Structure 1
Amino acid sequence: MWVKPPINCYKLNVDAAFFEDGTGAAAAILRNNRGEALAGASWLLHHLLDSTTAEAVAIQRGLELVEGLGCHQVIVESDSLEVIQACNGVIEIWSPYTAILADCFQKSYRIGVVSFTHCLREANRLAHNLARHSFNLNTTLVWDGDPPSFLLSDIVDDVTLI
């Protein structure tokens, strides 16, 4: 299940959907230490090489969202173990998404304190549902404030289970 971040910290959950034709969608949701969804976005993706690249793009776009909101202490959480290990220097990043992660590191430096953690898919349900929604409706979605109504039940479930 999803776990709240510490006080004075935000959690950015990211996820991506990838299809063999090179299309997909990425999503990011920023929540505070009370579990409230403060902002989020989803983006349609094209010309992807693989699913791991899509996951790296989700982190990149999520960090852009965080940077734009002026947050300075963030835990980035993804269910892509390979990308999280690459972000933490556990594995070498000689792959199609190397340049994307280099950009993520630059954004992280500008943001302030950013850590990268792996989570199970069940803990990343909100970002997963947002990416799937964006792809299914062929639309990009951005919000700052109240989340879209189709996500509310997942947000409530996450917060009440804790």
Structure 2
Amino acid sequence: MVLSNAAPRSSSYWQPPSQDAYKLNFDAAVFSDLKCSGVGAIIRNSAGEVMAGMSAKGEYVHNSDEAKALGCRKALEFSMEAEFSNMVIEGDNSNIMRAIASSTINNSLYGHIVDDIRHYISGRQFVAFSCVKREGNMVAHSLARFARNIVDDLHWMENEPTPAVDALHHDRLHINE
């Protein structure tokens, strides 16, 4: 397992992983009016092609950090069910990405979720963490926001998720900038 510096990168655009890896981007949104949250995740290869995507409703949480931690855990569960390994896990919340990438005990309110995430990735071939600015995470953000409209989890395999087509197009225009 590789624990990379999880500080936000200076790039405002999504960047593909190395040739031998996949990138899992995730995001979460809190819908206070509906008393629930939403999770979005997208897995892409080094060419930027969609391998899998997910939009799901989650439990109600009171803050963004807890929502993002739960979102990361749900996204990892999804990636494991779809049998992806050799991944870079990327989110836009620096608190969560640092907590996950750190080897120290996390005593925060979401520490148990961080422990779950660390357990999920233990023993996997290659896992790196990075934090990206929101602009570089818009596909996952679109899927998390879309969860407001669904009842059951939606999964896309090797198809572009319709709710995120505009964000995917934007990412393709700016790859390697």
Q: State the TM-score, normalized to the length of structure 2.
A: 0.83
Find the aligned partners of 1:110 and 1:48 in 2 and give their Cα distance.
30
1:89 to 81, 102, 110: 102
Amino acid at match of 1:6: S
Q: Which residue pairs with 1:99 in the alignment?
A: 112
**Shift in Å, 1:19:** 3.9
Find the aligned partners of 1:80 and 1:91 in 2 and give their Cα distance.
18
**Shift in Å, 1:87:** 0.9
Q: How many residues align?
A: 162
Contact 1:26–1:45, Cα closer than 8 Å, also in 2: yes
Q: Which residue pairs with 1:8 in the alignment?
A: 20
Contact 2:146–2:163, Cα closer than 8 Å, also in 1: no
Answer with 56-65 or 102-111: which moved more. 102-111
* CA RMSD, Structure 1 to Structure 2 (Å): 1.9
Find the aligned partners of 1:160 and 1:47 in 2 and give their Cα distance.
35
Answer with 151-160 or 9-18: which moved more. 151-160
2:119 corresponds to 1:116: no
Unaligned runs of 5+ in 1: none
**Shift in Å, 1:6:** 0.5
Runs (4 or more) in structure 1 with deviation over 6 Å come to none
**Shift in Å, 1:100:** 1.1
Unaligned runs of 5+ in 2: 1-12
**Shift in Å, 1:153:** 2.5
Identity of counterpart residues, as a percentage?
30
1:35-82 CA-partner distances (Å, limit 9, x unpaired): 011101121122324211110111111111211222221001000110
Q: State the TM-score, normalized to the length of structure 1.
A: 0.90
Contact 1:67–1:111, Cα closer than 8 Å, also in 2: no
Contact 1:24–1:45, Cα closer than 8 Å, also in 2: yes
